[in-house]
Amino acid sequence: MWTWKSWVNSANTPETDFPLQNLPCGIFRETDGNPRMGIAIGKFVLDLQRCNHAGLLEGLSENVRAACEQPSLNDLIACSASGWSSLRRRLAELLRTEADPTHRRKTEAALLPIASVALLKPVQIGNYTDFYASIHHATNVGRLFRPDQPLLPNYKFVPIGYHGRTSSLVVSGTDITRPNGQTKASNSDLPRFGPTSALDYELEVGAYIGKGNPLGEQISLEHAEEHLFGISLVNDWSARDIQTWEYQPLGPFLSKSFVTSISPWVVSMDALAPFRVAMPARPVGDPAPLSYLSSVVNQNIGAIDMKLEVLLSSASMRSAGSAPMLLSSGNLRDLYWSFAQLVTHHTSNGCNLLPGDLLASGTVSGAEEGTQGSLLEMTRRGTQPICLPSGELRSFLEDGDEIILRGYCKKEGFPRIGLGECRGRIIPAPFLSS
Amino acid sequence: MWTWKSWVNSANTPETDFPLQNLPCGIFRETDGNPRMGIAIGKFVLDLQRCNHAGLLEGLSENVRAACEQPSLNDLIACSASGWSSLRRRLAELLRTEADPTHRRKTEAALLPIASVALLKPVQIGNYTDFYASIHHATNVGRLFRPDQPLLPNYKFVPIGYHGRTSSLVVSGTDITRPNGQTKASNSDLPRFGPTSALDYELEVGAYIGKGNPLGEQISLEHAEEHLFGISLVNDWSARDIQTWEYQPLGPFLSKSFVTSISPWVVSMDALAPFRVAMPARPVGDPAPLSYLSSVVNQNIGAIDMKLEVLLSSASMRSAGSAPMLLSSGNLRDLYWSFAQLVTHHTSNGCNLLPGDLLASGTVSGAEEGTQGSLLEMTRRGTQPICLPSGELRSFLEDGDEIILRGYCKKEGFPRIGLGECRGRIIPAPFLSS
């Protein structure tokens, strides 16, 4: 299947995120239509409801076909991994150049240009956990606040994470309202309430849980990958000034919960298989993970070699017709903890994961300059602003700024497998009446 | 209505939590039956589906009657406050001594002894937030960890809270599996993984959100009470040794997410009206709340005068036929922040609350000895164990221990309005294979 081409020409170009080998799932809506399930192929979305009605999914199990008629991916996610894999294989057969001509005609009738539909939140996410799995991010941030001890003593043992807010998860393209909140200037005795002046993005990748686990039963590292359905981009928008004032002792709360953006397409673990690589070697002197977080398989292929990019476009840049500016470029393989380790740690206390739960990586940053996944790190907490092509300076985000996250895997001999984009544009804070 | 009596005799006794004036909602199941909605009256549950089928709810709006047929309270909660109030008034008419005899006969046919049914999780909770609203609890805990600065500088300005885990919310009566986790002894260089040896309860009260708010729009303090549906007991089980090692810098995670218990009955804000009291006066020198968290009405009736009790029964005590021991007794009115303030703060950044979301108070402790809502506080982090009637000592919970939370309002001239009980019994940690 990795050498196949598609009769959808836009799926065969080197720059597409969505070749025949990707087939990410999502939920879309035509103008005034109902939400329906689709998969992305080149510049098109294939309508799975229409495919099913046209008899193109015959031979697949009843529950997979029924799941394809649903307005969210949850039922599909709740099917077994072999269920999703069988659907993906079937769709690849329909879309490959060697497809049966009758099938091809019916399949063509179920294609819609992605540009013509609205992409919706793909999953009803019951629980959202945000981790802190990049040691470079943790070190960069720690250095700003605790120069003498950037990394806390637990970091190399505990995959640190916290529960995020699910109600304010929104799909890419949703406007981001600048939040109000309490902040306290270091030279003031009293806090004040008003719009954040330190609005930031966080470049993250999130994994959707496929099969869950019963309350009280841990998922061992050996089996953790079987519980992953697929991944997407996540932008964990953050108000740094609110965060600084509120986070002791129970962690970030309103500085994060105003909104979190997710990309519309969920790329399956199957599609990422060729890009699995070894975990980064732990530096000499670092402890080995405790045994429940350690396995040879995880060490050898626990990571994903995926390029991640952040771009910014300001209102002035758009007016001037400038292209978005690349702010940074990192790689998902740099994480200190793999998604499998995050699953195992999360359930190590018996906590139950449910199908469709989202586990985000935390900000993905690398060790070098230009690989940091947040403005907090890039501008050293706002003290070293970035200069945009328009001549504007940015310490943190301004109203009108748009942030675009991208992620893709690229490797000689394989088509590019991408996550698509996750976009969000800042709009002004609501007016305060008193 | 506050002077009415019921023809259900057990609803007229001074010790019942469920007089005619309470009528809390819940979800129950008869042996092998489907989940159905009911309200508690004395020692009985009134089956609302049966009431509706018998025509007893005629005159109520279509959506309220449809909500009564659902297997969770969510649809009822999503109805307007006038919808819930109309249902409660209608049920009080059916259950009062002066009820129409035909109606009474039909209503009697819809009563089942509470003891004969299983009580289920009443609400599908989309989002669960746990606050830290008791200044006495925050001070008691802070003193154990930071004797020189028990209370952090933000406490008197920010209603501190964090997102909790929803998947592991369970109803009262569910066994509590002792969690495994990472802990690090102060005299050891390395952490270890295994069962917690510092398992604790936290006595809390949770408020269910009725009407939600759109993303990006704050709920002002003036309108916050309109967004509360009702309250229940919450036991936020905690593993203190896991918490100590994991909580920096993102807050509690696996030390809490293994399980949280909620009581089965939701008591409406209407039923609590006679017990609303002034917020405790802030000590001289304390700052006033910022203006968005301040109102005269909240100051005058923001608190709820409700007695809260924790009882413990060990396996030996039960074998010996001993009654549970009262560990502590506090009052909900002692909170530093009201539920209305919690709602307003939670939405102050534009975060959207959904119908059925749960906002818990955090551990409710008072200023005096005997009013602390956790063992951490009572035993001074395990250093001053409690002696049980069996002669056993308790620093933290042992396998076989059962914790019982109770809450009730009592006032001259009014029937007692209670929350019922929230129970959980500790069972051993799962066996670790390696």
Determine whether the interchain pair A349/B126 forms a contact, defined as Cβ–Cβ distance below 8 Å.
no
Q: Residues A347-391: pLDDT tens digits? A: 999 999 999 999 999 999 999 999 999 999 999 999 999 999 999
Please tell me which of the candidates B179, B345, B350 has its beta carbon nearest to residue A179. Answer: B350
CB contact under 8 A, A250 and B287: no
Task: Give the pLDDT confidence of A87-111 residue by residue, as tens digits.
Answer: 999 999 999 999 999 999 999 999 9
B374: CB partners within 8 A, 6+ apart: B137, B200, B201, B202, B203, B238, B363, B365
Tell me the C-alpha distance between A174 and A162, whole Å: 24
**pLDDT of A434 higher than 80:** no
CB contact under 8 A, B259 and A215: yes
Q: Give the pair of three-digit tokens for residue A234.
A: 């996540």
pLDDT at B434 over 60: no
In this prediction, residue A354 carries a pLDDT of 98
A contact residues 373-412, partner B, Cβ 8 Å cutoff = none
**Cβ contact A289:A157 at 8 Å:** yes
- What confidence category does residue B433 fall into, taking pLDDT thresholds of 50, 70 and 90? low
The Cα–Cα gap between A273 and A281 comes to: 21
Q: Is A71 on the interface with B (CB under 8 A)?
A: no
Give strand pairing partners of A96. Answer: A6
Q: What is the pLDDT of residue B1?
A: 84
Structure letter (DSSP) for residue A87:
H
Minimum Cα–Cα distance from B142: chain A residue = A249
Minimum-distance CB partner of B258 among A162, A249, A350: A350
CA distance A327 to chain B (A): 26
Q: Which CATH architecture has domain A128-427?
A: Alpha-Beta Complex (3.90)
CA gap B392, B397 in Å, rounded: 11
CB of B361 within 8 Å of a chain A CB? The answer is no
Interface check for B258 against chain A (CB to CB < 8 A): the answer is yes
Taking only residues 193 to 232 of chain B, the set having a beta carbon closer than 8 angstroms to any beta carbon of chain A reads: 193, 215-218, 220
Residue A290 forms contact with B (CB below 8 Å): yes
Contact A246 B152 (CB under 8 A): no
pLDDT digits (tens, 9 = 90+) for A192-243: 999 999 999 999 999 999 999 999 999 999 999 999 999 999 999 999 999 9
CA nearest to A189 within chain B: B153
Domains of chain B: which residue ranges? 9-120, 128-427
For A9-120, CATH gives: 2.30.30.230
CB pairs under 8 A between A and B: 200
Residues from chain B that touch A291, judged by Cβ atoms under 8 A, are 193, 434
Kindly report the average pLDDT of chain A as a whole number.
97
Question: How are beta strands B111-113 and A358-360 bridged, if at all?
Answer: unpaired
Give A-chain residues touching B360 at CB under 8 angstroms.
none
What is the tally of helices (H) and strands (E) in chain A? 14, 26
Residue A111, SS3 per DSSP: strand
Q: Which residues of A are catalytic?
A: 137
Q: Identify which of A152, A257, A351 has the shortest CB distance to residue B163.
A: A257
pLDDT at A433 over 70: no
In this structure, the dihedral spanned by the alpha carbons of residues B314, B317, B323 and B325, taken in order and rounded to 10 degrees, is -50
Interface confidence: ipTM more than 0.85: yes
Between the CA of residue A430 and those of A40, A244, B289, what are the distances in Å? 36, 22, 21
- Residue A109 to chain B, least CA–CA distance (Å): 37
pTM of the model: 0.97
Which residue from A minimizes the CA distance to B255? A349
Closest A-chain CA to B170: A215
Distance from CA of B186 to the nearest CA of A (A): 12
B353 chain-A contacts, CB cut-off 8 A: 167
* pLDDT exceeds 80 at position B172: yes
CB contact under 8 A, A257 and B154: no
Neighboring chain A residues of B246 at a CB cutoff of 8 Å:
154, 158, 160
Task: Give the rounded percent of residues in chain A with a pLDDT score beyond 70.
Answer: 100
User: What is the 8-class DSSP label of residue A2?
Assistant: T
pLDDT in tens, B258-309: 999 999 999 999 999 999 999 999 999 999 999 999 999 999 999 999 999 9
The answer, for B250 touching chain A at a CB cutoff of 8 Å, is yes
Q: Would an 8 Å CB–CB cutoff place B188 in contact with chain A? A: no
Q: Taken in order A127, B421, B130, B427, is the CA torsion positive or negative?
A: negative
Q: Check residue A411 and give its pLDDT.
A: 95
Q: Do A246 and B180 touch (CB under 8 A)?
A: no
Question: For chain B, how big is the Rg over CA atoms in Å?
Answer: 22
Residue A333 confidence (pLDDT) above 60: yes
**Each residue's pLDDT tens digit, B199-221:** 999 999 999 999 999 999 999 99
> What is the rounded (10 degree) CA torsion for A121, A429, B130, B28?
-50
Nearest to B350 among A127, A160, A177 (CB): A177
> Which residues 141-170 of A are in CB contact (within 8 Å) with B?
152, 154, 157-158, 160-168, 170
Give contacts of B239 with chain A, Cβ < 8 Å.
349
- In this complex, do A248 and B180 lie within 8 Å of one another by their Cβ atoms? no
A309 beta partners: A329, A406
Nearest CB among A165, A193, A292 relative to B351 is that of A165
Cα-atom radius of gyration of chain A, to the nearest Å?
22
